[in-house]
Amino acid sequence: MHARKPKVIVTRKLPDPVETRMRELFDAELNVTDAPMGREALLDAIGRAEVLAPTITDRIDAELIAAAGDQLKLIANYGAGVDHIDIAAATERGITVTNTPGVLTEDTADLTMALVLAVSRRSMEGESMLRAGKFVGWAPTLMLGRSLTGKQLGIVGMGRIGQAVARRARAFGMHIHYHNRKPVSPRLAEELDATYWENLDQMLARVDIVSLHSPYTPATHNLLSARRLKLLQPHAFVINTARGDLLDEEALADLLNEGAIAGAGLDVYRNEPNVNQKLLNAPNIVLLPHLGSATMEARTAMGEKVIVNIKTWMDGHRPPDRVLPQML
């Protein structure tokens, strides 16, 4: 006799291997259209599901959680970030929340370096010029960018992704600086040859490139504020592959338009999928559509983690990737 399969509602379309395995293991209800669920659809889902598998496009706030049926016991988030879920409200209702950390680290770090290279070497600008038929041949001063060797990279948030970026940047001959809630271990600091700055303002004033890798919490909202952005040197670049709310987009666009900083590369935005028009119109900026973990390998591994978390919960054990309020 087969054990009863729990009702799992998945809010977005996931890679085929993940969805196939979910259908095998669970009573899985899939989103075949991949259209983000509106509020009414989420209310319906949270009222029927034993397990909800949302993504970053779903706002699972306290009001929604209060409307959940008593059968909802697990929110198995597809993604590492959980700032779209009210963890405290879920915990109070006895609902476990899990995420998918670790599996997107390397791919997000790769994309971060792609943005660093794109903005420092003006590659997107050059590609557009060529396609527009404006390339008339090599010239000694054509589209001069900045080399990376010897430059100072300031990493804000030295977690898994920040460390992966540091390792890549060292291979390019960059010097690693970082700001974090606390220093990394002496062994890791030695391995990365990384300099710790307790004071973020002091670090920002000294680096050539700043790359954001902090999780989003109320404490990190507008971490790179207008005031802090003005501390950057005129030749500095800003990179953000973490969360849009870490950065004052209006101030960044103003500084780019004024030529007060050299450029920026963004993969995340404050009001996704809407992008601030001032960013779209700003010079020397590369804008990507939230591609940080967008590889088949990473997205499949994220789905596998969701499945492991659900299976572990089904077996009566604590899921390996449980998120608690005090962890944020």
Helices (runs of H) and strands (runs of E) counted in the chain: 13, 12
CA distance 111 to 32: 28
Strands 263-266 and 237-240: parallel
Q: Which member of 290, 299, 318, 322 is catalytic? A: 290
Q: Which residue(s) pair with 263 in the sheet?
A: 237
Buried b vs exposed e over 203-236: b needs ≥16 C-beta within 10 Å? bbeebbbbbbbbbbeeebeebbeeebbebbeeeb
Residue 324, Cβ density class (10 Å: 0-12 exposed, 13-18 middle, ≥19 buried): exposed
Check if the beta carbon of residue 179 is closer than 8 Å to that of residue 220.
no
Q: What is the spatial distance between Cα 89 and Cα 94, in angstroms, rounded to a whole number?
A: 9
Tell me whether residue 160 is one of the annotated catalytic residues.
no
Count the Cβ atoms, other than its own, within 10 Å of residue 9: 25
Active site (annotated) includes residue 290: yes
The token duo for 247 is: 């950065």
Q: Phi and psi dihedrals of 242, rounded to 5? A: -100, -85
Of 52, 118, 112, which Cα lies nearest the Cα of 82? Answer: 52
Catalytic residue among 177, 243, 249, 299: 243
The answer to whether the CB of 246 falls within 8 A of the CB of 228 is: no
Name the active-site residue from 63, 127, 198, 272: 272
Q: Which helix (H) or strand (E) holds 70?
A: none
For this structure, is 272 an active site residue? yes
Q: Give first-to-last CA distance, the chain, whole Å.
A: 42
Catalytic amino acids?
243, 272, 290
